[in-house]
């Protein structure tokens, strides 16, 4: 059996990164930058005031105090968005608003709170030094400066920065389209009555939501029955329609072999037995450059294997370089024994209390018990053949 890390690395090594496309800036949140963007303008584009107050010559406002103010004549008011029309000479000041352009001659701004204007003169009660309360041309970003590297994940601050760089259309990696197929004669679509032996198809919906959350574009390809011809037809159509294919069900041992047979026809597929619980059987391969993920049918296994394998793969396709969720230590509130030769990914409630993170499992952990995930906000990893006592630490990660 392969370890999770080994199987995941082997898989990730073969995952393609999708080409770039231009998108309008408002459609770029969550995408990955595919071009380098040297600044074509200075930010800010001109020296300006950081305060509402008075633009002055610092030399005029030295050693002043409440009882010994400087008295300057006010020559004009400069609002944000307008250029000054006069130069500030010795003994003069210009009323100035935050973000307004500094006038020639002035080298500092005194904030309004330490001044008192009377008609055309202003009293200033606090000294200033040159450059005080002035924001200089290019101090945030200098023209020509490389602001963001290729591979940058575009979060709200990056979107704001791109706007300040005057980038209306941005080259980003294309997010993967992902076709999703459930397999099994027992599966009944929503809305139809359940007849004996049948169950609801839940995986397709969960996987659809997971693909969306991972930044992919899901394509629902329905349910494939346990019939080789029909399954092959659906899988081929799904692959043709998308950058990647996810199937659920039909990859465990002793299974009716339809899914495995069809997957093996589409590509060179590795049928992996990964040393993890849930989710031991998995299929992975690439057909015409498109990854195929054969996930186990049990609902918890399907969701957990997506989380640990498919999510990082989709992130890589979309150009991301941080593929795995960070792990950390959490303190167990209960004793847990794993007698298995497989690492147990248990569903847990992680809580921050008194500066540490505690972990409590979410009750019955069978691979069909979806509630174990509904109650959870994280996974904890119990190593093989180990007992961890309450109070001991365990590796944990947040989910979703
Ligand atoms: P399989 O991997 O096909 O042997 O399925 C393992 C278990 O998962 C069986 O109990 C299936 O009925 C169940 N199962 C398979 N596919 C789905 C699905 N799409 N939604 C809910 N349960 C499923
Ligand atoms: Mg099945």
| Helix H or strand E segment including 195 | none
Please provide residue 326's backbone torsions phi and psi, each rounded to the nearest 5 degrees.
-65, 145
- Tell me how far apart the alpha carbons of residues 193 and 41 are, in angstroms, rounded to a whole number: 63
Q: Does the CA dihedral 188-193-195-197 come out positive or negative?
A: positive
231 Cβ below 6 A of ligand 1: no
- Tell me how far apart the alpha carbons of residues 183 and 302 are, in angstroms, rounded to a whole number: 12
- Tell me how far apart the alpha carbons of residues 30 and 247 are, in angstroms, rounded to a whole number: 26
| Cα–ligand 1 centroid distance for 216 (angstroms) | 24
Q: Whose CA is nearest to atom 17 of ligand 1?
A: 297
- Helices 258-266 and 228-241: crossing angle, nearest 10°? 40
Q: Of 256, 297, 304, 366, which is best to mutate to test ligand 1, by the most ligand atoms within 8 angstroms of its C-beta? A: 297
Question: CATH top-level class for 328-398?
Answer: mainly beta
Q: Are 103 and 55 in contact (CB under 8 A)?
A: yes
Q: Of 196, 199, 254, which is best to mutate to test ligand 1, by the most ligand atoms within 8 angstroms of its C-beta? A: 199
- The separation between CA 19 and the C-alpha centre of its own chain, rounded to angstroms, equals 19
Q: Are 16 and 287 in contact (CB under 8 A)?
A: no
Residues spanned by CATH 2.40.340.10 within the chain? Answer: 328-398
| Cα–ligand 1 centroid distance for 182 (angstroms) | 8
184 Cβ below 6 A of ligand 1: yes
Angle at 84 between CA 78 and CA 89, to 5 degrees: 100
For residue 48, which of 89, 113, 94 has the smallest C-alpha distance? Answer: 94
| Cα–ligand 2 centroid distance for 224 (angstroms) | 10
Nearest ligand 1 atom, CA 201 = 20
Residues spanned by CATH 2.170.190.11 within the chain? Answer: 48-135
List CB contacts of 151: < 8 A, sequence separation 6 or more.
Answer: 32, 33, 319, 320, 321
Residues spanned by CATH 3.90.105.10 within the chain? Answer: 21-40+149-173
| Cα–ligand 1 centroid distance for 215 (angstroms) | 25
Nearest ligand 1 atom, CA 281 = 2
154 Cβ below 6 A of ligand 1: no
Q: Are 248 and 208 in contact (CB under 8 A)?
A: no
Q: Of 180, 210, 249, which is best to mutate to test ligand 1, by the most ligand atoms within 8 angstroms of its C-beta? A: 249
Residues spanned by CATH 3.40.980.10 within the chain? Answer: 4-17+175-317
Q: Are 302 and 296 in contact (CB under 8 A)?
A: yes
- Measured from the alpha carbon of residue 296, the closest ligand is 1
282 Cβ below 6 A of ligand 1: no
- Tell me how far apart the alpha carbons of residues 261 and 293 are, in angstroms, rounded to a whole number: 14
For residue 295, which of 317, 268, 274 has the smallest C-alpha distance? Answer: 274
107 Cβ below 6 A of ligand 1: no
| Helix H or strand E segment including 312 | helix 311-317
CATH 3.40.50.10490 fits domain 21-40+149-173: no
β-pairing, 169-173 with 20-24?
A: antiparallel
- Tell me how far apart the alpha carbons of residues 66 and 126 are, in angstroms, rounded to a whole number: 7
Ranges assigned E (strand) in 81-163 = 92-96, 108-111, 115-118, 121-124, 134-135
List CB contacts of 15: < 8 A, sequence separation 6 or more.
Answer: 291, 313, 316, 317
390 Cβ below 6 A of ligand 1: no
- Tell me how far apart the alpha carbons of residues 318 and 324 are, in angstroms, rounded to a whole number: 14
Question: CATH top-level class for 4-17+175-317?
Answer: alpha beta
For residue 184, which of 223, 232, 219 has the smallest C-alpha distance? Answer: 223
Full-prediction pTM beyond 0.85?
yes
> Thinking of the domain 48-135, which architecture would CATH place it in?
Beta Complex (2.170)
What three-state secondary structure class fits 393?
strand
Helix/strand/coil percentages in the chain, nearest 5: 20, 35, 45
Per-residue pLDDT of the chain (400 residues; tens, 9 = 90+): 999 999 999 999 999 999 999 999 999 999 999 999 999 999 999 999 999 999 999 999 999 999 999 999 999 999 999 999 999 999 999 999 999 999 999 999 999 999 999 999 999 999 999 999 999 999 999 999 999 999 999 999 999 999 999 999 999 999 999 999 999 999 999 999 999 999 999 999 999 999 999 999 999 999 999 999 999 999 999 999 999 999 999 998 766 679 999 999 999 999 899 999 999 999 999 999 999 999 999 999 999 999 999 999 999 999 999 999 999 999 999 999 999 999 999 999 999 988 999 999 999 999 999 999 999 999 999 999 999 999 999 999 999 7
């Amino acid at each position: 059996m392969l370890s999770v890390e080994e199987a995941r690395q082997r898989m990730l090594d073969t995952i393609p990164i999708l080409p770039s496309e231009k998108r309008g800036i408002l459609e770029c949140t969550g995408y990955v930058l595919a071009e380098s963007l040297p600044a074509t303008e200075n930010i800010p584009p001109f020296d300006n005031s950081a305060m509402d107050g008075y633009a002055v010559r610092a030399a005029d406002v030295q050693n002043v105090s409440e009882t010994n103010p400087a008295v300057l004549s006010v020559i004009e008011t400069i609002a944000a968005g307008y250029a000054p029309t006069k130069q500030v000479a010795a003994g003069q000041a210009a009323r100035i608003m935050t973000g307004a352009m500094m006038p020639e001659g002035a080298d500092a701004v005194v904030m309004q709170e330490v001044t008192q204007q009377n008609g055309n003169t202003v009293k200033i009660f606090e000294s200033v030094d040159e450059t005080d309360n002035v924001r200089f041309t290019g101090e945030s970003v200098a023209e020509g400066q490389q602001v963001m590297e290729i591979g940058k994940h575009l979060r709200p601050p990056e979107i704001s920065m791109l706007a300040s760089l005057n980038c209306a259309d941005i080259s980003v990696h294309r997010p993967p389209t992902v076709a999703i197929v459930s397999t099994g004669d027992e599966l009944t679509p929503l809305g139809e009555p359940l007849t004996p032996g049948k169950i609801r198809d839940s995986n397709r919906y969960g996987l659809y939501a997971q693909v969306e959350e991972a930044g992919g574009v899901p394509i629902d390809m329905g349910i494939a029955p346990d019939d080789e011809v029909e399954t092959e037809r659906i899988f081929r159509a799904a692959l043709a329609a998308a950058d990647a294919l996810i199937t659920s069900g039909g990859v465990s041992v002793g299974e009716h072999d339809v899914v495995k047979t069809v997957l093996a026809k589409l590509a060179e597929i590795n049928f992996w037995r990964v040393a993890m619980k849930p989710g031991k059987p998995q299929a992975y391969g690439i057909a015409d450059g498109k990854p195929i993920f054969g996930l186990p049918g049990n609902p918890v296994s399907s969701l957990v294997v997506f989380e640990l394998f498919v999510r990082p793969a989709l992130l890589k396709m979309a150009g991301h370089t941080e593929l795995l969720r960070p792990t950390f230590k959490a303190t167990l509130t209960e004793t847990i024994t794993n007698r298995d030769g497989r690492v147990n990914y248990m569903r847990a409630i992680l809580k921050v209390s008194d500066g540490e993170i505690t972990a409590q499992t979410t009750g019955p952990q069978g691979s069909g018990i979806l509630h174990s995930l509904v109650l959870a906000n994280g996974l904890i990893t119990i190593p093989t053949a180990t007992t961890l006592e309450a109070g001991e630490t365990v590796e944990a990660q947040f989910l979703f």
